[in-house]
A and B are shown apart, each in its own frame.
Chain A
């Protein structure tokens, strides 16, 4: 029976991921999310698992330059992709301007959402769609901060993007 065959066939394919410029070859079962592959297989635990359902944004990474929720895609679907995680943002000890802005604006308290906020904001900057604080707020709504550091997060993003940090609507 076909169904049984599928259920009983062990399958652990080999995939390659280029993470923060370094190529990795790894064996992952087909059901492993990109998030679990990064955290458990590559020990890159900077990317956080919040809800694991695409709702909180803590797992946001850049895949081929675009921000996505790493929990809502399978590693096997990203075979060959280029991935940037929070570990890849700084140049050695030199922080990314956005990381420095987060420090300057006190844009985190517990810090759990921060890696996702940073990667998401970098995706936002690359997309180039946000021109106002209200647009930053709307386009960052996929990243939840339970400490509610939103106003400081927005201030940091606006500073780096050269957007006036006034007149938000959300």
Chain B
């Protein structure tokens, strides 16, 4: 790890000011990903601004019936929070499927969605990687790419975003609240993470010195029919090969009133396709209809060799997650 200086911010303005003093500053909250990357010299900040004590350690209900998750609340405290468990069980389930109990006790909500990819080449400084070193090339496209993306890739990067929480937040239409030198703004989850295009070094749309302060969840509407299906190499403590956050609203005849399907492990950002969800509206919640939606969601999927299996895996996972969502009891 390179030598660093450190300061503990006392409020959000102080944090932003400290961060803007140098272009080599990084905010640190849980640190579970940043310190890991610093130890392997993938990230080399000169100064760390600790944002754990800037007043965003709350979870509170909003006037509109939604819920605001403070950025520095840990993943464990969020996932086990009674209101989250009761009204946003999809989010709780996704968060508890991630990492280990120890990491969830440190990792924060803001940090979770700021995670960098776990692409092996991104971590290996002896290889080319456009995300780590723009212009150096992508070692994954023609390399070992079993964990890599099948949707929304570019000629410069096929990395996937590793977060489970982000997939659930995307399915629930969460909004990321940020603050920077020029004030506050809100970024819908859809627009927070980006596709790699020709700038894979940019994971998200945060502007310089901006910091996440909280994440807003709209009023709960998927507390009954939901499923977070995470497929991975072992049943605990592993990143998803493919994950599906599925949420449905059904009428009494089991026809679909609303549907939300977000995919993880398949793209540079949580993947959603409104057209595929629209296909289900008004139709019976059956496997045949779910397969149609799955086919549409994956219509542009492309494998790169070792990850070809993900296309069929994702197709089946979408159907299974939706079936689990219809009858949540059956999955317990």
Contacts and interface: CB of A to CB of B under 8 A. Distances in A.
Interface of A: 2-3, 6-7, 9, 11, 13, 29-31, 33, 52-54, 57, 60, 66-69, 72-74, 76-77, 120, 123-124, 127, 129, 137-143, 169-170
Given A6-B22, A74-B6, 13 more contacts: A3-B23, A6-B46, A33-B35, A53-B36, A72-B31, A72-B32, A72-B35, A73-B30, A74-B28, A74-B31, A76-B6, A142-B102, A142-B237
Given A3-B46, A30-B48, A73 B1 contact: no
A68 B6 contact: no
A133 to B, nearest CB: 13
Contact of A77 (B3, B22, B31, B99): B31
List of 8 A-B pairs having minimum Cβ-Cβ separation, nearest first: A142-B100, A141-B236, A30-B6, A141-B237, A2-B22, A6-B46, A66-B105, A142-B102
Contacts of B31: 72-74, 77
Given A3-B23, A127-B101, A69 B106 contact: yes
Nearest to A30: B6
Interface in B1-37: 1-6, 21-24, 28, 30-32, 35-36
B194 interface: no
B66 to A, nearest CB: 26
Nearest to B47: A6
25 contacts: A2-B21, A3-B23, A9-B5, A11-B6, A13-B6, A29-B3, A30-B4, A30-B5, A30-B48, A31-B1, A31-B4, A33-B35, A53-B39, A68-B102, A69-B102, A72-B103, A73-B106, A74-B35, A77-B50, A137-B236, A138-B235, A138-B236, A141-B100, A142-B101, A142-B237
A160 B236 CA distance: 23
B105 A67 contact: yes
Given A2-B21, A69-B106, A170-B235, A77 B32 contact: no
Nearest to A2: B22
Consensus secondary structure, chain B interface = loop
Contacts of A74: 6, 28, 31, 35, 48
A142 B96 CA distance: 13
A142 B47 CA distance: 30
Nearest to A7: B46
A129 B80 contact: yes
A29 B32 CA distance: 19
Contacts of A66: 76, 105
Contacts of B139: none
A42 to B, nearest CB: 20
Contacts of B101: 67, 120, 123-124, 127, 139-142
Contacts of A2: 21-22
Interface in B29-78: 30-32, 35-36, 39, 46-48, 50, 52, 76
Contacts of B4: 6, 30-31
A13 B35 CA distance: 19
A60 to B, nearest CB: 6
The winner among B52, B102, B235 for most chain A CB atoms within 10 A is B102
Contact of A3 (B22, B35, B234): B22
A142 B103 contact: yes
Contacts of A129: 80
Nearest to B52: A77
Interface string B228-247: 00000011110000000000
A68 B106 contact: yes
Contacts of B46: 3, 6-7
A11 B236 contact: no
Nearest to A72: B32
